[in-house]
Amino acid sequence: TSLGSKAAMRQLEGELSQRIKEARQRLIGLIAHIEASVDFPEYDVEEITGGMAVEEIDSVMDMLERALKGFERGRVIREGLTAAIVGRPNVGKSSLLNRMAGKNRAIVTDIPGTTRDVIDEYVNVNGVAVRLLDTAGIRDTYDLVEKIGVEKTIEEIEKADLVIMVIDTWEGLLNEDREIIRQLEGKKAVYVLNKIDISQEERVSAIERELKGKYTIRASMKEDIGIEELEKAIWELFLKGEVDADSEFLVTNIRHKVLIEKALESLQESKKSFEMGMPIDCMVIDIRGAAESLGQITGESVSEDVINEIFSRFCLGK
């Protein structure tokens, strides 16, 4: 998508490297200041206290934590997300897939159990690639092929980033619906209340009351109602309207995420050393570990950089 292309171009231009280098350089400066004040007391080096070091550590941690907060959004922009369409048979799942895809990708009939295998289709939702999965209707069945389809549906629910449950408002909420809703506890889910064009307002309102607190959308696949609202819901649930690939620093790589998390853990340990009353030079061990983790992203080593920083910042004899 265009949004994914913009984010990729910013990384090719070195956006990730620049931001990580900035955080790492601040840690290198902190290490150099501490080591210079401890190792060269005879020179006029400005004293640094543990409290001053913690202030700088907190500032760097804030930078890194902001980067991690954008990881999920960055992953979605880079890889797209998977949305499984689920529900009882014949509630409008395949019709929803066809509406969002803009073509008749899935067979639609009035016969329950028409969809027996998972059908997928990629769509562009506000610049994000979404892989829609039309799944077999969940119900108890003696048909072996349909039963396998139901088992596949349950597997897809577990793997999906988002679940879109379609409910037939004309029939109302049945026990089969309630069982599916129970299975979706803890998942990001949107509940599409389909067939409002033929349903009574009382019945639709009753379903909304029972689903109070959940993300519900009134819809009619026949009248093309609710599709725009559903696309907006997908965007809000994952990106919350905050992503701007032109201005935001996005971490999209799982390796980078892990290394940033390691750096944060090291900095947290350094702060613990200060809280335990340990000497300031003991804090350097973990600060150095954080800088090394960030250096694995940028391809830089710590030792030489610290020495260079000491002699460039402080007037020390040779």
DSSP characters for 80-126? -EEEEEE-STTSSHHHHHHHHHTS--S---SSTT---S-EEEEEEET
pLDDT in tens, 297-312: 887 766 666 556 655 6
Residue 162 token pair: 């988002």
> Confidence band (pLDDT; 50, 70, 90) for 157?
confident
CB 150 within 8 A of CB 141: yes
- For residue 148, what pLDDT is reported? 59
With CA atoms as reference, report the closest residue to 41 among 276, 281, 278, 312.
Answer: 281
Residue with tokens 């032109």: 246
- For residue 217, what pLDDT is reported? 96
Residue 188 token pair: 């990001």
Residue 242 token pair: 């905050």
With CA atoms as reference, report the closest residue to 84 among 137, 127, 148, 145.
Answer: 137
39: left (phi over 0), alpha (psi -120 to 50) or beta: alpha
pLDDT in tens, 259-290: 999 999 999 999 999 999 898 888 999 999 99
With CA atoms as reference, report the closest residue to 125 among 13, 23, 230.
Answer: 230
CB 77 within 8 A of CB 3: yes
Residue 82 reports pLDDT greater than 60: yes
Residue 47 token pair: 């004293």
- For residue 122, what pLDDT is reported? 82
pLDDT in tens, 99-112: 888 755 444 444 44
For residues 179 and 154, what is the distance between their CA atoms, to the nearest angstrom? 12
Q: Which residues pair with 123 in a beta bridge?
A: 130
More confident residue, 135 or 247: 135
CB 75 within 8 A of CB 253: no
Count Cβ atoms below 10 Å from residue 74 Cβ, excluding itself.
26
pLDDT in tens, 164-215: 999 999 999 998 889 889 888 888 899 999 999 999 999 999 999 999 999 9
First to last CA, the chain: 56
For residues 314 and 306, what is the distance between their CA atoms, to the nearest angstrom? 12
For 273-287, b where at least 16 C-beta lie within 10 A, e where not — what string? bbeeeeebeebbebb
Q: Which residues pair with 220 in a beta bridge?
A: 225
Question: SS3 breakdown of the chain: % helix, strand, coil, rounded to 5?
Answer: 55, 10, 35
% of the chain beyond a pLDDT of 90: 33
φ/ψ of 252, rounded to 5, equals -115, -5
pTM: 0.58
Residue 137 reports pLDDT greater than 80: no
For residues 125 and 190, what is the distance between their CA atoms, to the nearest angstrom? 15
